[in-house]
């Protein structure tokens, strides 16, 4: 089955205290988003990059400066994540395919993880990577404050892979609703989520300290 990757790059520099979107920040001399594009290209996936078109000129300059010549389609993002992913999906006409949805701010994903996600989604219709929680956690609401068993919970990562037609149908079923990730929507639409073991190093760049951590991890991989 044909492979696609929708790389969601709708973030800004707000929590990073940066003047540019976090996916454009240099990580060991390379824009954060480039790592994901290179990995999905190595996995033979057609790439759709979703970002606000106000950054189109900046993106073009980055590609020229850093000589990114990997073929990709740029699509305008929405005001919320689900709208951005939906916009990206509209550029995939082959419904008999597998699509990976990935956060541009996760630059340390490996080709091994991508291959495992694609393979599992081909077999089961969906695949999301999850990792264990190492800290103690509590359920705290306005009237509850109790410890819970961390072994019953997992941290969800990307890439999240799906049968393309099933994911499009899930968007149609859940139109107008908001979800933090595609797996939640896919499940809400009546589908089953298949999980695979994720990678602890597959962190999301959210704050300045994350860049330092990611930099060291990438240097160790070199």
Evaluate whether residue 148 is within a structural domain: no
Evaluate whether residue 150 is within a structural domain: no
Residues facing residue 4 across a β-bridge = 46, 99
Evaluate whether residue 138 is within a structural domain: no
Q: Can you give the CATH number for the domain in which 100 is found?
A: 3.90.550.10
Evaluate whether residue 181 is within a structural domain: yes
Query: What pLDDT score was predicted for residue 221?
Result: 74
Query: What pLDDT score was predicted for residue 49?
Result: 97
Q: Got the DSSP string for 130-192?
A: EEE--S-EEEE-SS-EEEE-GGG-EEE-S-EEEEHHHHHHHHHHTTT---SSHHHHHHHTTPP
Q: What is the pTM of this model?
A: 0.94
Tokens matching residue 13? 């520099």
Residue 208, phi then psi, degrees to nearest 5: -50, -40
Residue-by-residue pLDDT tens, the chain, 222 positions = 999 999 999 765 555 556 678 899 999 999 999 999 999 999 999 999 999 988 989 999 999 999 999 999 999 998 889 999 999 999 999 999 999 999 999 999 999 999 999 999 999 999 999 999 999 999 999 999 999 999 999 999 999 999 999 999 999 999 989 899 999 999 999 999 999 999 999 999 999 999 999 999 999 875
**Residue 53: how many CB atoms within 10 A of its CB?**
11
DSSP category for residue 22: G
Evaluate whether residue 143 is within a structural domain: no
Q: How many domains does the chain have?
A: 1
Tokens matching residue 98? 């597998």
- Dmax (CA) for the chain in angstroms is 55
Q: Got the DSSP string for 74-99?
A: EEE--SSHHHHHHHHHTT---SSEEE
Evaluate whether residue 137 is within a structural domain: no
Evaluate whether residue 147 is within a structural domain: no
Q: Is 46 helix (H, G, I), strand (E, B) or coil?
A: strand
Evaluate whether residue 107 is within a structural domain: yes
Q: Which domain holds residue 8?
A: 2-127+156-221
């Amino acid at each position: 089955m044909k492979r696609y990757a929708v790389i969601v790059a709708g973030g800004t520099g707000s929590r990073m205290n940066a003047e540019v979107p976090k996916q454009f920040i240099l990580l060991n001399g390379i824009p954060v988003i480039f790592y994901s594009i290179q990995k999905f290209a190595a996995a033979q996936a057609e790439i759709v990059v979703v970002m606000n078109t106000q950054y189109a000129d900046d993106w073009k300059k980055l590609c020229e400066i850093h000589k990114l010549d990997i073929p990709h389609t740029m699509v305008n993002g929405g005001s919320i994540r689900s709208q951005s992913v939906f916009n990206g999906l509209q550029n995939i006409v082959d419904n008999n395919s597998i699509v990976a949805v990935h956060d541009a701010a996760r630059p340390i994903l490996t080709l091994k993880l991508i291959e495992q996600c694609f393979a599992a989604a081909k077999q089961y219709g969906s695949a999301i990577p999850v990792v264990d929680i190492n800290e103690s956690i509590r359920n705290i609401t306005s009237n509850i404050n109790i410890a819970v068993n961390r072994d019953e919970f997992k941290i969800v990562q990307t890439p999240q892979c799906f049968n393309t037609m099933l994911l499009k149908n899930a968007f149609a079923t859940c139109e107008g609703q908001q979800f933090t990730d595609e797996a939640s929507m896919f499940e809400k639409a009546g589908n089953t989520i298949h999980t695979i073991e994720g990678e602890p190093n597959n962190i999301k760049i959210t704050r300045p300290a994350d860049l330092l951590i990611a930099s060291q991890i990438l240097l160790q991989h070199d």
